[in-house]
Amino acid sequence: MRTSASDRDDQTRARRVYLYFGPLTLLVYLVDPSSQLLDIATAYMMKNQLHADAGQVAMFRLVTAMPVYAAFVFGFARDRWNLFGLRDRGQFLAFAPVTAATFIWLALAPLSYSGLLLGMLLVMVVSRFLLAAHQGLIALIGQEQLMSGRLSVLWNILSFLPLAAGSFAAGYLTEHVAPRSTFLIMASLSLLIAVYGFLRPAAVFSHAYEQPLALTSDLVGDVRRLLRHRAIYPAILIMLMFQFSPGSNTVLQFYLTDELHASDAAYGYWNGIFLVAFLPVFLLYGRLCKRVPFGRLLWWGTAISVPQMMPLVFIHSTSAALWLAVPIGMMGGIMFAAIYDLAMRSCPPGLQGTLMMLVAGVYALATRAGDLLGTWIYAGNPGHGFLYCALATTAVYAAILPVILLVPRELLATADGEPNPESDAPVGAEVAG
């Protein structure tokens, strides 16, 4: 039976965990080249300073994104390595300065297409190690301290802020901040991540790597355990399906500008409003996840998100589209938080980095694949292309509902903070075996 004193201790510990992961998450996603802020800024550099055409910009994005598709490699390296004997802190110490050095080189070198491509590709590679350490550690602590739902909320809020800021501010920053200054700012933020290599708050690290959930075996054994851990498959599949949205991204951009005659800036505004609208729902999830069994939240989130894109079919003005960005964003909030909650709950012991980076890679692949299918549908159906894309998105989201049945029952049974003996019992045996 829990007492008020133990509840207060849990709240104090949780606040200290938030205090550690909050700034770290924000820094990691500000530095990430795939974030909206840096992605849009470099696209404008190519367009305005280097006079690149649309094809060159698209090729730049394709090449620099390649490490994201193989993100699980960086996650598996995180799970196997123990740099300087500090585990995740060692990766912050090793790779944050390299990231900063690369940004400094970009700032000091003459701006060119090949130099920018090479530099940003290198930053993308090195920053994957930072992301793997962050995501593996946050998933491990979420599992060990039974707070995967609350850490999912913290993670999503602070990773969405750079995305929203990029949508609103990247164009303005490009006009008022020189490329050299942009890269030097990013270098400074990278060095702040290195500081996390020296921090070791007890609320996060006290015996964290000594618990059964952190234990690994040999290389072959880890690969075998990953493939046999049936919980990973629905987690990966649900992320793939939720991000496979033919009605979003390029199709939505063309729909707003070509059919609703919106300005080029309107898509950026729509995307920013859409992302900000997730935030209050994330906070709601943070409250509900401690009171409602996770499985119920996953079902609710999926059902609410199914018709997410359909309201845009019935509008006829830019202003209506911008207003609709609010409820459309809110409709996806519970599901998005639940997916990362599920991913953390589904991690095999000692392989948190591998699964979380697998999910990250699937996120990127599904987004691009849905975009390609959507543009094909849209281009081939004049007058009804967006409707068909929205219907395709709705059908894919609806198909997530039966996939939930594949999630192991023990992962769905408890609310955040509730122990589950049925889930905990096999952990030691799995690592030993």
- Per residue of the chain (433 residues), give pLDDT as tens: 455 666 677 788 889 999 999 999 999 998 998 877 787 778 778 877 888 775 677 678 778 888 988 999 999 999 999 999 999 999 999 999 999 999 999 999 999 989 999 999 999 999 999 999 999 999 999 999 999 999 999 999 998 887 777 666 665 666 677 888 889 999 999 999 999 999 999 999 988 999 999 888 888 889 999 999 999 999 999 999 999 988 887 788 788 877 887 776 777 788 888 888 999 999 999 999 999 999 999 999 999 999 999 998 898 888 888 899 999 999 999 999 999 999 999 999 999 999 999 999 999 889 888 888 888 888 888 778 889 999 999 999 999 999 999 999 999 999 998 887 665 555 555 555 5
Residue by residue, what is the 3-state secondary structure of 287-354?
HHCCCCCHHHHHHHHHHHHCCCCHHHHHCCCHHHHHHHHHHHHHHHHHHHHHHHHHHHHHCCCCCHHH
51 Rama class: left (phi>0) / alpha (psi -120 to 50) / beta: left
CA distance 162 to 254: 24
C-alpha 26/C-alpha 277 separation (Å) is: 18
pLDDT at 1: 46
The 3-state secondary structure of the chain reads CCCHHHHHHHHHHHHHHHHHHHHHHHHHHHHCCCCHHHHHHHHHHHHHHCCCCHHHHHHHHHHHCHHHHCHHHHHHHHHHCCHHHCCHHHHHHHHHHHHHHHHHHHHHCCCCHHHHHHHHHHHHHHHHHHHHHHHHHHHHHHHHCCCHHHHHHHHHHHHHHHHHHHHHHHHHHHHHCCHHHHHHHHHHHHHHHHHCCCCCCHHHHCCHHHCHHHCCCCHHHHHHHHHHCCCHHHHHHHHHHHHCCCCCCHHHHHHHHHHCCCCHHHHHHHHHHHHHHHHHHHHHHHHHCCCCCHHHHHHHHHHHHCCCCHHHHHCCCHHHHHHHHHHHHHHHHHHHHHHHHHHHHHCCCCCHHHHHHHHHHHHHHHHHHHHHHHHHHHHHCCCCHHHHHHHHHHHHHHCHHHHHCCCCHHHHCCCCCCCCHHHHCHHHHHHHC
Q: Which CATH code fits 230-419?
A: 1.20.1250.20
Return the pLDDT at 427: 56
- Which residues, including other chains, have CB under 8 Å from residue 311's CB and lie 6 or more apart? 324, 327, 328
Supply the pLDDT for residue 386.
87
pLDDT the model gives residue 21: 96
Q: What pLDDT was estimated at residue 13? A: 86
The predicted model scores a pTM of 0.89
The reported pLDDT for the residue numbered 381 is 80
Q: What is the pLDDT of residue 259?
A: 80
Query: According to the model, what pLDDT value does residue 148 have?
Result: 94
pLDDT at 205: 94
Phi, psi (5° rounding) for residue 104?
A: -65, -40
Q: Is the Cβ–Cβ distance between 146 and 419 less than 8 Å?
A: yes
